Amino acid sequence: MPVLDWIGKEKVINHHMEVPYRVLDEKYSYGADSENMIIHGDNLLALKSLLPQYEGRIKCIYIDPPYNTGNEGWVYNDNVNDPRIKKWLGEVVGAEGKDLSRHDKWLCMMYPRLKLLHRLLSDDGVIFISIDDNELYNLKMICDEIFGSLNFVATIPWRKRTAKSDVPYGISQDFESILCYAKSDSFKASLKGKERKYYETNDFSGRPWRFHDLTTQRTVKERPNSNYTMVNPKNGEEYPVNPLRCWAITIDTFQQYYDENRVIFPGDYDFLKISKPVLRYWKDDDIKKAGSDFGLVSVSTFLPSDIVGMTQDGTKEITNIFGEKKFSYPKPSMLIQYLINISTVTSPNITVVKFREV
């Protein structure tokens, strides 16, 4: 597998093992029964301090690291040029750290943190990483190395704003990315789907059913054994095949499906307003096939803004809490809630880690 190399990599590749364990100093309590924690400090030290109790136990991790835009005048230095980072690089990377580009510095900073996050994840866990184009491709390469390229789940685009007019080249970059990796193939995202419409009829009492289109997206040339006129055995009514969308069942299997009461013709049920044959599906078969996933649907990488929000929604939340705009470009809580939700539908009692600054 191709790997990314940069100046200083050999000094940080195992640095997570050299980071000392620290005991967290409790300053405030949220109640005797609460396991929630807000940790203030260098997150490299904080992550290492979590290992004894939480290694292999975290189901969902969300991080929003510096994007390395080169902006030194933001709320924190986004040029990997903060005195603390420079001091750390000097100690860990050594003299050659003085010659690092900002991308080298960023990779040196991120690598040991991602190694610790990987150790914290449970086997069915997942990590979401917000990032923009400044480091997206570098981040993808080191995540392939740390989490494994086979555990790459998706790059999810998130719309952070509506289009601006005064932009370089006349193209408004309205989207950022959320890089998603699983710990193993035990992870599966899902959402509760819209409940399917099942019918109960006197001819099949106690056995609910639904129906679906009886054609496929394939043409008769692609599937010649489905190129036939379907005939209703009850009345001889004929239904010619659509050459661009042939029947889902072949001429050889039609009789079997019909004998199993799977084929429904127009007129079989007065309440069904259909003009061509459809295929019947039994609810008990759906449940058997889906198992514990019954009622759940796959997650689309299309994130509707009304569900996950944009930066303006995060700004409103910050302003409502603090009475002023304390932080630029905050992520809306709706986005974080959505990512947690798609990761935990089947196991709601989980542990989540989220960190912001490094």
Give pLDDT tens digits for 81-123.
677 777 777 788 876 666 678 899 899 999 999 999 999 999 9
Report yes or no on 3 lying in a domain. no
List, for residues 48-58, the tens digit of each pLDDT value: 999 999 999 99
Span 129-156, pLDDT tens digits: 999 999 999 999 999 999 999 999 999 9
Q: What is the pLDDT of residues 296-344, one digit of tens each?
A: 999 999 999 999 999 999 999 999 988 888 777 889 999 999 999 999 8
Pairing type for strands 191-192 and 296-297 reads antiparallel
Shared domain check, 207 and 174: no
* Domain match, 207 and 238 both: yes
Which residues are within 8 A (CB) of 238 and not within 5 positions of it... i.e. 6 or more apart? 229, 230, 231, 232
Please say whether the dihedral angle defined by the alpha carbons of residues 68, 69, 70 and 71, taken in this order, is positive or negative: negative
Q: Which of 263, 293, 323 is the last residue of a domain?
A: 293
Q: Which domain holds residue 91?
A: 9-188+299-355
Q: Judge whether residue 358 has pLDDT over 60.
A: no
Last residue of a domain, one of 248, 264, 293: 293
How many domains does the chain contain in total?
A: 2
pLDDT of residue 68: 86
> Residue 199, Cβ neighbours under 10 Å: how many?
14
Domain end residue (candidates: 272, 293, 314)? 293
Establish if 234 belongs to a structural domain.
yes
**Is 184 contained in some domain?**
yes
From residue 165, alpha-carbon distances to 170, 173, 224, 314, 336 in Å are 7, 11, 53, 22, 29
